């Protein structure tokens, strides 16, 4: 079934990841919701940033206006100094007339000028000047300052001219204050708009950002072990929420695949267990239906024992498969020489192979240090050799090779036989639980198993971080190749002791 995507109203859209109509108690916990906190933080950041920006802009405008006025006053002070210097030839009256006209031209700015002597007594002043302005003892540099609502510049002449030593130029700050008052009104309006808009925009943005979280919560609340076909939508934005949704979907895919595998496993196991149980029941019922001789009862009991043995073997395989799929922690692995396990397995199956007329031989069997479980690796070798002996016809050969590829830091185990081979369409399924190939390999020897041997092999190899592959062609034999990692503590290649291989 194709996974369905969520649609419609999400839990977050319904409010606080809950019902459409929150209860009175839920209103008291609104501030605890992710959406509220995101909105609050967003609004706080926007408001603070906006206020700092507006205040900075206001101060910048004021500084620019003052700077422009200062430059005008400084230029006027320089210009008047030149006029005072020329008054030594022209006289004072033309100078005062010129300054009067200049003051009248700047009357709207309340501009004024004063001429002071060396003792800073007023020699002449234009209309609009203030009477309580400061009298500095000296003015070494032109440095504008504010006093009594005026911006003032003092210019000290190097030498008195017609008794004039200081030039005092000033202008009232009313026009700047008026401009700043208008700016303050705009700043106030902008700040009010930000205070109103920031929470609303923050709430909207937080709702969009948290919508995926609400969908995840809604999805989790609807998931059931028997209903895992729903998936989160991927918006395609590539952001963290998309990554979260993708991760959750991948997790759901793995969980669904795992549960489906377990469900199939239980169904197949039940089917396999039912067959010997049905045979035992049928045999016992036959024995109870009629009176029989002791010999007949013994024959029936032998059949029951045979079925019980098959049932016991199947249960043991199921337990072993469950154990190998339990991901044995690598901390419990121990260093061992795979060569010792291989040689013991070959010795154990030599008698069986000889009885079937099959030649079991070894090629290059090198010292191969690995980290692993001796019990599970022994089961791997037993299953591979058991399959090879079972499916190799009389007169065939089985070859076992073990090579340590130290540059590649790998160990390769190869088990080859000259049996009928495996059909290509069966090779894709031979590692599946309870799968039995309907090929010449199965029919040639009448071999019949539970279909768990290769599944156990694959689980053991994967649990050891390795790979297993099958290479086979019909009527040309089969080769299984197992690749494991070389033990890192023995890169130099010294043979290891064959500890714990018995």
Q: What secondary structure does DSSP assign to 308-337, as a single string?
A: HHHHHHHHHHHHHHHHHTT---GGG-EEEE
CA distance 350 to 409: 30
CA distance 389 to 357: 10
- Does any domain span residue 446? yes
CA-closest candidate to residue 111, choices 93, 132, 125, 97: 125
pTM beyond 0.85: no
> 459: which 2 tokens?
């689980």
Task: Note the pLDDT of residue 481.
Answer: 95
- For residues 93, 94, 96, 99, the Cα torsion angle rounded to the nearest 10 degrees is 180
Are 435 and 478 found together in one domain? yes
- Judge whether residue 316 has pLDDT over 60: yes
Domain boundary at 276, 294, 323, which? 323
More confident: 420 or 281: 420
Buried b / exposed e over 267-277, threshold 16 CB at 10 Å, is ebbeebeeebe
CATH of the domain at 254: 1.10.287.130
DSSP code for 496: P
- Does any domain span residue 87? no
- Please report which helix (H) or strand (E) contains residue 274, including its range: helix 240-289
Neighbours of 385 (CB within 10 A): 23
Is 389 in contact with 398 (CB distance < 8 Å)?
yes
Task: Note the pLDDT of residue 248.
Answer: 82
Are 318 and 451 found together in one domain? no
Are 253 and 386 found together in one domain? no
Task: Note the pLDDT of residue 323.
Answer: 66
- Judge whether residue 465 has pLDDT over 50: yes
Distances (CA, A) of 374 to 161, 364, 440: 113, 21, 34
Is 337 in contact with 374 (CB distance < 8 Å)?
no
Are 486 and 355 found together in one domain? yes
Buried b / exposed e over 117-145, threshold 16 CB at 10 Å, is eeebeeeebbebbbeebeeeeebeebebe
Domain boundary at 323, 340, 365, which? 323
> 31: which 2 tokens?
């501030």
Burial class (CB in 10 A: 0-12, 13-18, 19+), 93: exposed
Are 367 and 293 found together in one domain? no
- Does any domain span residue 438? yes
Please tell me which of 262-276, 371-385, 435-449 the model is most confident about, judged by mean pLDDT.
371-385
CA distance 454 to 320: 12
More confident: 349 or 99: 349
- 3-state class (DSSP) for residue 74: helix
CA distance 467 to 485: 10
Of 123-127, 298-302, 439-443, where does mean pLDDT reach its minimum? 439-443
- Does any domain span residue 51? no
Are 308 and 337 found together in one domain? no
Band (341; pLDDT cuts 50, 70, 90): very high
Q: Once rounded to an integer, what is the mean pLDDT over residues 114-128?
A: 83
- Does any domain span residue 297? yes
Number of structural domains (the chain) is 2
CA distance 378 to 93: 123
DSSP string, 246-269: HHHHHHHHHHHHHHHHHHHHHHHH
Is 479 in contact with 315 (CB distance < 8 Å)?
no
CATH of the domain at 376: 3.30.565.10
- Judge whether residue 453 has pLDDT over 90: no
Question: What is the average pLDDT value for the chain, to the nearest integer?
Answer: 78
Please tell me which of 32-36, 318-322, 344-348 the model is most confident about, judged by mean pLDDT.
344-348
Is 335 in contact with 496 (CB distance < 8 Å)?
yes
Are 280 and 369 found together in one domain? no
Are 336 and 425 found together in one domain? yes
Is 413 in contact with 402 (CB distance < 8 Å)?
yes
Are 306 and 354 found together in one domain? no
CA-closest candidate to residue 265, choices 329, 328, 228, 314: 314
- Does any domain span residue 78? no
485-497 residue pLDDT tens:
998 754 434 444 4
- Does any domain span residue 156? no
CA-closest candidate to residue 213, choices 496, 13, 24, 450: 13
Q: Which stretches does DSSP call E strand in 162-270?
A: 164-172, 230-231
Residue 163 C-alpha from the chain's centroid: 83
Task: Note the pLDDT of residue 60.
Answer: 92
Residue 129 phi/psi, 5-degree rounding, is -80, 155
Domain boundary at 288, 323, 358, which? 323
Q: Once rounded to an integer, what is the mean pLDDT over residues 82-93?
A: 78
Number of H helices, E strands in the chain: 11, 14
- Does any domain span residue 381? yes
Are 272 and 361 found together in one domain? no
Are 336 and 453 found together in one domain? yes
Cα separation of the two ends of the chain:
49
Domain that holds residue 308: 240-323
- Judge whether residue 10 has pLDDT over 60: no
DSSP code for 225: T
CA-closest candidate to residue 226, choices 263, 265, 185: 263
46-62 residue pLDDT tens:
888 888 988 898 899 98
Are 299 and 416 found together in one domain? no
- Please report which helix (H) or strand (E) contains residue 297, including its range: helix 294-324
């Amino acid at each position: 079934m194709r996974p369905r995507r969520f649609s419609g109203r999400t839990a977050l859209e319904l409010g606080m990841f809950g019902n459409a109509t929150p209860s009175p108690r839920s209103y008291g916990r609104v501030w605890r919701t992710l959406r509220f906190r995101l909105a609050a933080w967003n609004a706080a950041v926007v408001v603070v940033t906006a206020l700092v920006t507006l205040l900075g802009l206001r101060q910048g405008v004021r500084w620019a206006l003052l700077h422009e006025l200062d430059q005008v006053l400084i230029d006027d002070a320089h210009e008047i100094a030149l006029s005072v210097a020329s008054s030594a030839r022209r006289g004072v009256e033309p100078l005062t007339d010129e300054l009067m006209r200049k003051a009248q031209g700047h009357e709207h700015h309340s501009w004024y000028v004063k001429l002071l002597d060396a003792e800073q007594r007023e020699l002449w002043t234009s209309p609009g000047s203030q009477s309580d302005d400061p009298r500095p003892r000296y003015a070494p540099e032109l440095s504008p300052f504010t006093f009594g609502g005026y911006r003032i510049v003092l210019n000290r002449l190097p030498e008195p001219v017609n008794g004039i030593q200081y030039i005092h130029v000033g202008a009232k700050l009313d026009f700047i204050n008026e401009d700043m008052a208008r700016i303050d009104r705009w700043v106030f309006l902008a700040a009010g708009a930000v205070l109103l808009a920031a929470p609303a925009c923050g709430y909207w943005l937080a709702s969009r950002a948290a919508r995926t979280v609400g969908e995840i919560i809604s999805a989790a609340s609807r998931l059931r072990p028997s209903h895992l076909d729903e998936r989160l939508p991927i918006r395609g934005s590539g952001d963290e929420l998309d990554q979260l949704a993708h991760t959750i979907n991948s997790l759901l895919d793995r969980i669904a695949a795992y549960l489906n595998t377990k469900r199939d496993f239980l169904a197949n196991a039940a089917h396999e267990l039912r067959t010997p149980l049905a045979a035992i029941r049928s045999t016992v019922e036959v024995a109870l239906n009629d009176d029989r001789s002791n010999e007949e009862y013994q024959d029936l009991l032998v059949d029951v024992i045979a079925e019980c043995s098959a049932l016991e073997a199947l249960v043991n395989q199921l337990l072993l498969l469950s154990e190998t799929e339990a991901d044995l922690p690598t901390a419990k692995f121990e260093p061992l020489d795979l060569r010792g396990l291989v040689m013991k397995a070959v010795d154990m199956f030599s008698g069986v192979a000889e009885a079937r007329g099959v030649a079991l031989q070894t090629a290059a069997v090198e010292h191969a240090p690995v980290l692993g479980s001796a019990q599970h690796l022994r089961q791997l070798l037993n299953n591979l050799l058991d399959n090879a002996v079972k499916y190799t016809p009389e007169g065939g050969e089985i070859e076992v090779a073990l090579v340590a590829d130290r540059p590649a830091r790998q160990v390769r185990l190869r088990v080859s036989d000259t049996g009928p081979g495996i059909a290509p369409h069966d090779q894709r399924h031979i590692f599946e639980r309870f799968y039995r190939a309907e090929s010449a390999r199965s029919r040639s020897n009448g071999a019949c198993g539970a279909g768990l041997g290769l599944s156990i092999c694959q689980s053991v190899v994967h649990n050891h971080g390795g790979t297993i592959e099958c290479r086979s062609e019909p009527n040309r034999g089969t080769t299984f190749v197992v690749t494991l990692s070389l033990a890192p503590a023995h890169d130099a290649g010294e043979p290891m002791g064959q500890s714990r291989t018995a």
